[in-house]
A = this chain, B = another copy of it.
């Protein structure tokens, strides 16, 4: 194999915008050569790619907080890799970096598009999960947005997902008296209780959320919402006075053209003095230093566990992404790019 051949790899481009649930034919999977870095640029070989629910929003052209993906362009998103060629004095070959250039084995771009990571803090894939965007989302949501206090009962929807599992564990570390989660299968419920140490958990398919919440959580002080829809109405009813709701996402709505009507009980916000606050991780960059120190120490001492669901090969990234909406992942869904497969074929 020549050097040139080594520098080809999979790419995934947006082929068309979905209407309703996305499907495989929204994506165009191909093999492309890596671009040689120009002055001030580096070439990175990816090891792991992130697929995240928010990407569904960017596949539409509706105005939103993040610019829509361009049809025909490579799908953007979190990735970690190593610098293999550098024409920038500040970013040396061999450096591990995280970036947002997305679904590809090879990424070339200006050095400023890459952020070096401290590999002493955890495994490389963790920089897409517990030590990365989803971990910082959980941290900011629990600490800044929901302001979890000692003794609080905290309820997390989508708790077996990448953000929810970390959020529940950080809530416990912040002194929550009781942490309850919901997920979409009996296996995930066991994972929450047995592996992540949630006090209780339930399968949201086992009845109405309202009734399940009453039985498993009782009155709650904090709701960390990843799901939206029916969850919000049930949680508002279950909330104690001065309760706080952190709206992290609403995966139940992302594939619906017209979202369903909202909760009937928002009148309770006034009487109960509830706060419902939406947030985006991008506003909490100033927390990254303390967040990385805290979570890496909790990962090391076992107070935080972070499951990962791996899919092999960049060519299977669409499949990994689609699996988010059917709950195929426990913890963070991560795609192993060719370099990771090559270095650890059996992982």
A residues contacting B by CB (< 8 A) are 57, 64-65, 228, 232-233, 241, 247-250, 253, 258-280, 283
Chain B hits for A261, CB < 8 A: 261-264
Chain B hits for A241, CB < 8 A: 65
B271 and A65 contact, CB distance less than 8 A: yes
Q: How far apart sit A260 and B264, CA to CA, in the bound complex (Å)?
A: 6
Closest chain B residue to A259, Cβ basis: B264
Closest chain B residue to A277, Cβ basis: B275
B272 and A278 contact, CB distance less than 8 A: yes
Q: How far apart sit A276 and B283, CA to CA, in the bound complex (Å)?
A: 18
Closest chain B residue to A265, Cβ basis: B259
Question: How many copies of this chain?
Answer: 2
Knowing A262-B261, A262-B262 touch, does A271 contact B267 (C-beta < 8 A)? no
Chain B hits for A268, CB < 8 A: 278
Cβ of A180 to closest chain B Cβ, rounded Å: 22
Chain B hits for A228, CB < 8 A: 266-267
Q: How far apart sit A172 and B266, CA to CA, in the bound complex (Å)?
A: 28
Contact of A269 among B263, B264, B273, B278 (CB under 8 A): B278
Contact of A248 among B264, B270, B279 (CB under 8 A): B270
B259 and A267 contact, CB distance less than 8 A: yes
Closest chain B residue to A252, Cβ basis: B267
B264 and A273 contact, CB distance less than 8 A: no
Interface of A is mostly: loop
Chain B hits for A265, CB < 8 A: 259, 262
A262 and B264 contact, CB distance less than 8 A: yes
A277 and B280 contact, CB distance less than 8 A: no
Contact of A267 among B233, B250, B275 (CB under 8 A): B250
Contact of A253 among B65, B250, B267 (CB under 8 A): B267
A283 and B273 contact, CB distance less than 8 A: yes
Closest chain B residue to A253, Cβ basis: B267
Cβ of A70 to closest chain B Cβ, rounded Å: 19
Closest chain B residue to A258, Cβ basis: B264
Chain B hits for A272, CB < 8 A: 65, 278
Knowing A275-B276, A275-B277, A277-B275 touch, does A247 contact B269 (C-beta < 8 A)? yes
B280 and A273 contact, CB distance less than 8 A: yes
Q: How far apart sit A219 and B228, CA to CA, in the bound complex (Å)?
A: 25
Q: How far apart sit A64 and B268, CA to CA, in the bound complex (Å)?
A: 9
3 smallest CB-CB distances across A and B, nearest first, come from: A262-B262, A261-B261, A269-B278
Closest chain B residue to A57, Cβ basis: B271
13 pairs of residues in contact across A and B, judged by CB atoms under 8 Å: A228-B266, A233-B262, A250-B267, A253-B267, A258-B264, A262-B265, A272-B278, A273-B277, A273-B278, A273-B280, A274-B277, A276-B276, A277-B277
A277 and B276 contact, CB distance less than 8 A: yes
B277 and A269 contact, CB distance less than 8 A: yes
Q: How far apart sit A32 and B316, CA to CA, in the bound complex (Å)?
A: 82
Chain B hits for A249, CB < 8 A: 270
B283 and A279 contact, CB distance less than 8 A: no
